[in-house]
Chain A
Amino acid sequence: MSKPAEFYQRDRERHPPALTPGYKTSVARSPRYALISLQNSVSEVTGPVFGHADIDPIDNDLLSNYAQPDQSPIGERIIIHGRVLDENARPVPNTLVEIWQANAGGRYRHKKDTYLAPIDPNFGGCGRTMTDENGYYYFRTVKPGAYPWRNLVNNWRPAHIHLSIFGSGFAQRLITQLYFEGDPLIHKCPIVNTIPDPDAIAQLIARLDLNATIPLDTIAYKFDIVLRGRRSTLFENRLEGN
């Protein structure tokens, strides 16, 4: 039996460290010991497989998936679209992408959110879809609003959408956030600034994509997602130890 190929080592310089005091909640929720580095086994190169039976076509349309018949949520109508690729620039097909966000006023439909902006009766705030054979995905939603949060007294989250992506192996599992080009709050945000590399931050900022808009209807932003790539075995890999 051939051994599954491993994923490229995660570039930890590109990710935020666990302990980022500017984002206060991380202080008590970050490990103090170093992570133990593990070469991939079958436990890491495999991961859950999802199919179209798991979700419904409407799930990627946040304009309608919680709206009353013939109604729509308040806010700027947007399309978020792009591809899920790996570090080898190969598409990641048939993988589950899930998103969640605040409504246009910056309020989440969550029993723990007490911000004074109102709930939108026509907006749930979550969606999910599978990438197609080319790794392509899209959602339709409203642009989320900025909102205040308790870190320093006067911190505001830039408009953002949370994304959860699986890939083909559990080692690729990723949660991140999408920001919008031109938002002055991005570079003031302590959560954004947990990422030390400005180039890595730029990778989280979706670009306005006029070519993908629907004229007189919906504006579009493009957001590609890159998951870890896998080695190709050019030569028999002599593995040491276990």
Chain B
Amino acid sequence: MSQDLNYLKETPSQTAGPYVHIGLAPGAAGFDIYRQELGWDICGPNAKGERIRIEGVVIDGTGSPIKDVLLEAWQANAAGIYSHPEGGGDVEEGFRGWGRVITDFETGEWGFDTVKPGATRGRNVGMQAPHINLWIVARGINVGLNTRIYFDDEMDANAADPVLNLIEWERRRATLIAKRTDRDGQIVYRFDVRMQSEDETVFFDI
């Protein structure tokens, strides 16, 4: 016998289930209950930087879009500052950097509007390329999946990014890089997530 360490154990995860919208996006479930739902406005009206939109689908192992996904985004502002006491500084009034988005029940398409984040400081030295942290939950997902959205017009920063470089297989790094298009003057990045297949998106244990 020896002493007990007396740490508590983390509460285990369970799937968000098919009705996650009731709790986290009740308007999508079909009813209006709160004064305001949280997470629909990621960056607020005063955020500096380039206004962008990110769109995608989450594709299951059969190649079909998942139509009951909920995603949460967590990002720095254009200066690379997170809205948090340890985020590295002050952010614009109204900038939270967190958003919640659900898929269209018919098509599985999701999308959100934000500003393009700036580079953030690395764990030790150097900088992390601009990225948005993504957390994905749905029926059938037992533990929320973490991934990152990078940007294809940041090639130099991406090449130096410590997290992308941690991925041993270079071809898999491409699964994290959103593709920029111009849609009638609006900047839209495409970011599809694949749960399985040889192009399976890289998911992180953070």
Using a CB–CB cutoff of 8 Å, the interface residues on chain A facing chain B are: 3-4, 10-12, 14-18, 20, 23, 25-33, 35-50, 54-56, 59, 65-66, 85-89, 96, 98-101, 108-113, 124-126, 128, 162, 164, 170-171, 173-177, 191-192, 194-195, 197, 199-201, 203-204, 225-229, 239, 241-242
Q: Closest Cβ of chain B: how far from A175's Cβ, in Å?
A: 5
The interface-forming segment of B44-52, B128-136, B151-159 is: B128-136
User: Contacts of A30 on B, CB cut-off 8 Å?
Assistant: 61, 140-142, 195-196
Q: Is the pair A174, B11 in contact by a Cβ cutoff of 8 Å?
A: yes
Q: Which residues of B contact A (CB under 8 A)?
A: 6-24, 26, 29-31, 33-36, 38, 60-62, 64, 66, 68, 72, 74, 76, 82-88, 96-98, 105, 120-126, 128, 131, 133, 135, 137-145, 148, 162-163, 165-167, 172, 195-196, 200-206
Please, which residue of chain B has its CB at the minimum distance from the CB of A238? B124
Contact A31 B133 (CB under 8 A): no
| Docked pose: A210 CA to B149 CA in angstroms | 48
Query: How long is the Cα–Cα vector from A171 to B146 in the complex, in angstroms?
Result: 9
State the main secondary structure of chain A at its contact with B.
Answer: loop
A50-B38, A162-B17 known; A35+B204 contact, CB < 8 A: yes
Supposing A11-B9, A29-B61, A109-B29 touch, asked if A44 and B206 sit within 8 A by C-beta, the answer is yes
Verify B206–A46 contact, CB threshold 8 A: no
In this complex, what residue of A is CB-closest to B83?
A: A49
When C-beta atoms are compared, the residue in chain B nearest to A172 turns out to be B10
A48 touches B195 (CB 8 A): no
The reply to whether B34 and A59 contact each other, CB–CB distance below 8 Å, is yes
Cβ-defined contact, A14 with B10, below 8 A: yes
Query: Is B7 a contact partner of A87 (Cβ separation < 8 A)?
Result: yes
A36 touches B140 (CB 8 A): no
21 example contacts (A-B, Cβ-Cβ < 8 A) are as follows A15-B12, A23-B142, A28-B62, A29-B140, A31-B201, A33-B200, A35-B205, A36-B202, A39-B123, A41-B123, A43-B120, A44-B206, A48-B96, A87-B7, A88-B7, A110-B22, A112-B19, A170-B135, A194-B142, A203-B12, A242-B125
Residues of B within 8 A of A124 (CB): 22, 26, 31, 33
